[in-house]
């Protein structure tokens, strides 16, 4: 049974190791299974700041025969435990002795597993203490000095004051000596807090582990960080709720291929503390847009994002993927993630509304002798060969325009119905295509709704993260201040122009406004609204997310 992981606060994790209380625990048992075997002896040592604060030791009556092999190994006989207390009578005192200390063991999962099983059988709540394994630490810090990391080998080679004897308290004292030596070694790698120590086993073996010293001065606070090369060029920009933990994770839990190359080029890590995660997110987006760091793949391609345009400025409007917004009377949707996404959205609209797909200019006299392929298939109303009704086509255009603005159900409902009908007919490939188009269109409209509510609000003041107050102007984070009446400060790198209500968002501001909208959505239950020039409610219906479900990602190794 694995012990639950206690989620500490930033203050807990950042406590200097000299102020952390550790309890080293060692158990002797009748065998190796917590479900079928029992505890025969308990030993524990409490430590803080290099000093021993106390010990705990007792034999335990397992309530069953002790196998001869265990007696030979430990020296514990049935005669020795016959008058000893049962584990139920020991647990209360042991739990009180442990308290909220970090539980340490040499292969700590074994000892904690037996304790959790005993607590469960006794009807007691499980331990939720943080744990630390000296085996894992020794493998990282001492593997070049010893043939193996058995406790007896380490005690002999490192000349520890106490030697293990397969008796619980002796082994706990030897493990305590080992812990003190490991803490000294860990200090050379910039380990100063509990979070550093617990993540060290997965970091110390990293090819760039020597660069862990670059993280020594990073605080455990929200903010943004910048990886720089020897010339000072910014390689990567990121945000974090805990700067120190996030940057150090690049040396352990982040297995993306580009991370190794990034760390090899990195010579310095700069940071800026932000009072709130909102400011950190916005500042990250602004820095990425301004600096275009080579290792930031997300956020650096904003200049290539296209728009989908309904060309209302011509007689027979059609959908077109364009690179810029012009004051030509057209209806624009976007910016969208890529040209492929824009084309998928266009296909979604065209599969519901038979807009023309010809790109040739429309003339009074048709220049083609036959309709285009889309018209011949009956999926488009194209005037390319004559015979199209202008008034009926205008109805199609009005329907498309309404679906892209204030009546999204005109487009989404037919797509959803088609997807469901194809699925019922077991035409799954066609149903998947309809679903992809539906998801792309719904996503584009949903993003437009979220950002549109913000850009239509001239001034919005909210309290963020239960602390600072923030002023948004047309969705742009403008000012922040600590308390009412306190001087306000401008958020760094404000945009030159604010978004205009009712107009498409510029590519430059799209990521920033999207992260503000996402932050407000995530914290809707806790954000305190101080002022809004206009109502924040939207008359538009809530749009579903039709993207296919993805299997859950495996948690990264070493991350709490």
Quickly list DSSP for 398-461.
HHHHHHTTT-THHHHHHHHHHHHHHHHTT-HHHHHHHHHHHHHHHHHHHHHHHHHHHHT-S-EE
User: Which of 21, 170, 169 has its CA nearest to residue 98?
Assistant: 21
- In angstroms, rounded to a whole number, what is the distance separating the alpha carbons of residues 109 and 113? 6
- In angstroms, rounded to a whole number, what is the distance separating the alpha carbons of residues 306 and 141? 52
Q: What are phi and psi of 356, to 5 degrees?
A: -70, 150
Say which residues have a Cβ less than 8 Å from residue 166's Cβ, sequence separation at least 6: 28, 73, 74, 75
Residue 43: how many other CB atoms lie within 10 Å = 22
Q: Are 381 and 393 in contact (CB under 8 A)?
A: yes
Quickly list DSSP for 73-125.
HH---HHHHTTSPBHHHHHHHHHHHHTTSEEEETTHHHHHHHHHHHHHHTTPP
Please tell me which residue in 162, 166, 206, 523 is annotated as part of the active site: 166
Instruction: List residues bridging with 48 in a β-sheet.
Output: 21, 51
Helices (H), 29-86: 68-74, 78-81
Q: What are phi and psi of 490, to 5 degrees?
A: -75, 140
- In angstroms, rounded to a whole number, what is the distance separating the alpha carbons of residues 260 and 554? 21
166 as an active site residue: the answer is: yes
Q: Are 419 and 434 in contact (CB under 8 A)?
A: yes
Q: Please tell me whether residue 238 adopts helix, strand or coil conformation.
A: strand
Which tokens is 43 given? 């030993």
- In angstroms, rounded to a whole number, what is the distance separating the alpha carbons of residues 140 and 92? 35
In angstroms, how far apart are the furthest CA atoms of the chain?
Answer: 110
Residue 109: how many other CB atoms lie within 10 Å = 14
**How many helices (DSSP H) and strands (DSSP E) are in the chain?**
18, 16
H/E element, 258: helix 257-265
- In angstroms, rounded to a whole number, what is the distance separating the alpha carbons of residues 116 and 118? 5
- In angstroms, rounded to a whole number, what is the distance separating the alpha carbons of residues 157 and 370? 90
Which tokens is 515 given? 């992260």
User: Which of 23, 95, 87, 78 has its CA nearest to residue 58?
Assistant: 87
Catalytic residues: 166
């Amino acid at each position: 049974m694995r012990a639950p992981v206690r989620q500490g606060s930033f203050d807990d994790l950042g406590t200097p190791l000299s102020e952390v209380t550790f309890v080293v625990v060692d158990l002797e048992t009748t065998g190796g299974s917590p479900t079928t075997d029992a505890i025969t002896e308990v030993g524990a040592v409490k430590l803080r700041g290099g000093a021993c604060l106390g010990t705990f030791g007792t034999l335990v009556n397992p309530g069953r025969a002790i196998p001869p092999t265990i007696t030979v190994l430990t020296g514990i006989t049935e005669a020795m435990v016959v008058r000893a207390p049962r584990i139920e009578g020991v647990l209360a005192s042991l739990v009180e002795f442990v308290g909220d200390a970090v539980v340490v063991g040499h292969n700590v999962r074994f000892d904690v597993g037996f304790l959790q099983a005993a607590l469960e059988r006794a009807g007691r709540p499980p331990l939720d203490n943080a744990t630390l394994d000296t085996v894992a630490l020794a493998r990282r810090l001492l593997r070049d000095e010893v043939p193996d990391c058995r406790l007896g080998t380490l005690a002999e080679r490192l000349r520890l004051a106490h030697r293990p004897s397969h008796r619980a308290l002796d082994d706990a004292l030897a493990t305590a000596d080992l812990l003190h030596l490991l803490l000294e070694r860990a200090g050379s790698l910039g380990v100063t807090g509990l979070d550093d120590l617990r993540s060290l086993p997965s970091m110390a073996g990293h090819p760039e582990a020597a660069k862990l010293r670059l993280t020594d001065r990073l605080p455990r606070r929200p903010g943004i960080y910048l990886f720089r090369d020897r010339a000072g060029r910014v390689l990567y920009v990121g945000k974090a709720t805990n700067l120190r933990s996030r940057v150090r994770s690049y040396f352990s839990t982040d297995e993306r291929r580009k991370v190794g190359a990034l760390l090899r080029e990195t010579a310095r890590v700069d940071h800026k503390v932000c009072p709130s995660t909102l400011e950190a997110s916005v500042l990250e987006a602004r820095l990425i847009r301004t600096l275009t760091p080579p290792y930031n793949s997300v956020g650096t391609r904003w200049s290539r994002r296209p728009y989908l345009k309904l060309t209302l400025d011509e007689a027979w409007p059609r959908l077109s993927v364009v690179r810029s917004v012009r004051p030509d009377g057209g209806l624009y949707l976007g910016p969208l993630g890529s040209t492929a996404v824009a084309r998928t959205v266009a296909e979604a609209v065209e599969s519901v509304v038979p807009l023309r797909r010809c790109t040739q200019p429309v003339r009074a006299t048709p220049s083609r002798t036959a309709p285009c392929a889309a018209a011949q298939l009956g999926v488009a109303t194209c005037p390319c060969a004559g015979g199209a009704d202008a008034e009926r086509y205008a109805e199609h255009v009005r329907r498309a325009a309404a679906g892209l603005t204030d009546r999204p159900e005109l487009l989404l409902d037919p797509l959803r119905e088609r997807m469901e009908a194809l699925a019922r007919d077991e035409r799954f490939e066609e149903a998947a295509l309809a679903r992809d188009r539906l998801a792309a269109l719904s996503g584009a409209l949903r993003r437009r709704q979220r950002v549109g509510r913000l850009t239509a609000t001239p001034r919005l003041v909210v309290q963020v993260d239960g602390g600072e107050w923030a002023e948004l102007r047309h969705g742009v984070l403008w000012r922040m201040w600590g308390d009412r009446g306190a001087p306000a400060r401008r958020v760094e790198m404000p945009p030159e122009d604010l978004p205009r209500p009712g107009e498409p968002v510029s590519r430059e501001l799209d990521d920033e406004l999207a992260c503000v909208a996402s932050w407000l959505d995530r914290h809707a239950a806790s954000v305190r609204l101080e002022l809004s020039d206009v109502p924040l409610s939207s008359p538009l219906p809530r749009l579903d997310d039709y993207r296919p479900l993805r299997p859950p990602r495996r948690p990264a190794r070493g991350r709490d």
